[in-house]
Structure formats: C-alpha cells, structure tokens
Amino acid sequence: MVYRLYRVRDVVRIPPEKFSKPLEEAALEELRKTYEGIITKNMGIIVTVLDAKIEPEGKIIPGDGATYHKAEFTLLAFYPFIKEVVEGEVNTVVAHGVFVDLGASDGFIFINQIADEKIDYDPTRPALILRESRKILEKGDKVRARVYNVAPLPGKGLRVQMTMRQPYLGKIEWIKKELEKQRKSENK
C-alpha cells in the first residue's frame, strides 16, 4: 500500500484559547484539524500530520486575536498508484462486485474483474460463487489485486478500482493452492 510522506510549508493560525499550550502542541492540533481527511488530486487522502516545526514569532492581524506562524510539517498521505498490487480484506459483497478495505480507503473490484469464469451472487451469505471452480468470495476473505484506476470522488474519498484477473492475484487462499500445484508439478 502506498503511503507517502510530504514535507509542506504553510501558515498556521493559533486561536487565543490555545495560547496557554506549548506552541508546537497548539500548532499540531490546528494543522491536524485543517489537513486530516482532506483529499487532494496530487497527494491523495491526508491521513495525519506527523510533526511540525513552527516559527516562534507570529503575526497578529488587526481584528483577529489569533497569531499566525510560518510552519513546516510532514503529512502522511494514502494514494495508491495505477498498476500497484495491493492486499486487503473484503468488507462488503454486492451483486456487482466486492469492496476491499485498503486502510485509508476502500477499493472496488467489479464482478467481471474477479475471475475469468462466470460468477453468481448469493444474497443469503452474501457471497460471490465462481460457477466452474465453485470457489467462494465473501466478507472477511483476504485478497490480492492490482489497481487499474484511481480517481478522487468529491466529498467521498478516492475511487480505487482493481482487478484480480491476472496471475497471482485473487483470494490469498486461491493463490496459495495454485502455487502449491505448480510446485508439485515442477517436482515430478
């Protein structure tokens, strides 16, 4: 999973009610309130502000009791890239695919990107059942997939679309069985 660190410069506003706290602590609280959870096209989802270096001398703007300080800080961001191979746990199964927990965001695998065979949806479980092999994909299963599209969704996070229709991708259990078969056939 791609988590990236970004070093950023900005100005942080410290409100008067936080003047009793150490400057670094107050600034970190304000920066986290401002940045955490936002989605940017270039950085992805900002997970947290890790640290901050704050200039001690701030500026006061007439009519505003706060102080403004130059700040340099580190952001931790989640942004998967196209063709990246990721692993996660299936957290929702629907008739048209599965949602996979990737940490800071969910990824989605359309039903036609799960396998090369026809797939039926069983709403009673809920699960997806591969017709020929009778393999089952359901909530809680660990999967490996490749990202083929990443797009910001305004106000909702990232849309991460994935596929499992390539070698060594799919439910981890399926991959292990396939590798075991290959080892056995090579040892004959």
Q: What is the DSSP pairing of strand 3-14 with strand 67-78?
A: antiparallel
pLDDT of residue 88: 94
Q: Residues 109-167: pLDDT tens digits?
A: 999 999 999 999 999 989 999 999 999 999 999 999 999 998 877 666 778 999 999 98
Task: Select from 127, 126, 143 the least CA-distant residue to 135.
Answer: 127
Reported as a pLDDT band with limits 50, 70 and 90, residue 103 is confident
- 3-78 placed in CATH 3.30.1490.120: yes
pLDDT of residue 186: 82
Long-range contacts of range 52-57, CB-CB < 8 Å, 24 or more positions apart? 52/12, 52/24, 52/27, 52/28, 54/12, 54/23, 54/24, 54/27, 56/23
pLDDT of residue 39: 83
Q: Could you tell me the pTM of the whole model?
A: 0.75
> Residue 125 and residue 55: Cα distance in Å, rounded?
57
pLDDT of residue 1: 59
Q: Show the tokens assigned to 1.
A: 């999973």
- Residue spans of the domains in the chain: they are 3-78, 85-186
Q: Residues 19-33: pLDDT tens digits?
A: 999 999 999 999 999
pLDDT of residue 41: 76
> Residue 182 and residue 71: Cα distance in Å, rounded?
55
- 85-186 placed in CATH 3.40.50.12160: no
- Could you give the percent of the chain with pLDDT greater than 70? 97
